[in-house]
Amino acid sequence: MTRKKEKCCDSIVFFLLVTVLFPSVCFALEKPVEVDIPFQGQDLEAETIVFGFNLCRSLKEDIQKYVPFLKYLSTATGYKFRLRFIQKDASIADDLGRGVIQLAAVCAGTYILANEKYGVVPLARGVSSQGKSECQAVIVVAPDSPMQTIEDVRGKRLVFGSKTSTQGHLIPLIIFARHNISLDDFVSYEWTGSSHNCAEAVASGEADVCGMQDELGKELAREGFVRILFASSYYPSSGIVAGKNFDSVKFEKIKKALIEFEPGGAHAQGLYHWDKTAMPNGFVEAKDEDYQELREWSRKLGLLE
């Protein structure tokens, strides 16, 4: 079997000028980037709440997406926020555990890991364009691939998205495990860094099978770039979490603001491409028990060791 290898493509490495010139390119940050959010409320607290994020396409685009959102939270709560993009090879779970950031947008698998290691707690889960606070992963192949069932993937070249991704790694592993397919059944497997890269590897013929995020997979399938071979069950969607020692008053106030957020209605003005985030229709309350099935699978698959 070929050796597993990881490619970094999800984060960013140059500055805003580069992302203006090449807005669709993803880079890897050598240093974390922080953006202070213009503050319009009463200064109820001296300290600034740092919001972490590392699931991004480009620095420019994600600043445009998240600054208006954090402006909303600032107005709704009266707290000051700073947006922090996590650097290359850093762990958002570790940053939460060490208190480098206090809040973060993370996928379910990252929450489970951060909760296991550091006692991180969930505030809210994103609501999809279909009105669900759950998500799927899909297994995709080339449109002209002879594979017709999930069992046909044995002996093929497999690629994932990011190794820390729920939809691009954890859920595809669950799909294979449910069908008694192990990684040893593939001629090779590797991580490409993102669902975009994963799908591109299949579309270009560099790989045969990709496990990836569902909405992007369905969009690419409609456009004829890939074909969906299998779709998973539904699992908790990405959302917002807080560090273990986050102030309880702030926690409840921010959670309330998240649940009241109406990106398609009252709070739509000023938002930038919010429909392309993991929470296009806002949030619902999240509880730790929501993640129990994924937690059990993570243990079974050895991802929490």
To the nearest whole percent, how much of the chain has pLDDT over 70? 82
pTM of the complete model beyond 0.95: no
Residue 163 has pLDDT above 90, yes or no: no
Mean pLDDT across 127-132: 90
The structural domains of the chain, with segments of one domain joined by +, span 16-132+236-300, 137-233
Mean pLDDT lowest for which of 26-35, 132-141, 274-283? 26-35
| 190 dihedral zone (left: phi>0; alpha: psi -120 to 50; beta) | beta
> Measured between alpha carbons, how far is 188 from 208 in angstroms, rounded to an integer?
10
> Measured between alpha carbons, how far is 122 from 134 in angstroms, rounded to an integer?
15
> Measured between alpha carbons, how far is 258 from 112 in angstroms, rounded to an integer?
20
Residue 28 has pLDDT above 70, yes or no: no
How confident is the model at residue 136, as a pLDDT? 94
CA distance to 53, 146, 188, 198, per residue, from 6 (Å): 20, 28, 13, 12
For the segment 219-234, what is each residue's pLDDT rounded down to a tens digit? 999 999 999 999 999 9
CB-based contact 233:136 (threshold 8 Å): yes
How confident is the model at residue 65, as a pLDDT? 87
CATH topology match: 16-132+236-300 vs 137-233: yes
For the segment 78-87, what is each residue's pLDDT rounded down to a tens digit? 999 998 877 6
| Closest C-alpha among 58, 61, 83, 59 to residue 72 | 83
How confident is the model at residue 8, as a pLDDT? 31
Mean pLDDT lowest for which of 27-41, 50-64, 179-193? 27-41
Q: Give the architecture (CATH level 2) of 16-132+236-300.
A: 3-Layer(aba) Sandwich (3.40)
How confident is the model at residue 97, as a pLDDT? 92
For the segment 241-261, what is each residue's pLDDT rounded down to a tens digit? 999 999 999 999 999 999 999
Residue 25 has pLDDT above 80, yes or no: no
How confident is the model at residue 69, as a pLDDT? 94
Residue 169 has pLDDT above 60, yes or no: yes
Residue 140 has pLDDT above 90, yes or no: yes
Read off the pLDDT band of 56 (50, 70, 90): low
Q: Give the architecture (CATH level 2) of 137-233.
A: 3-Layer(aba) Sandwich (3.40)
Length of the chain: 305
Residue 39 has pLDDT above 80, yes or no: no
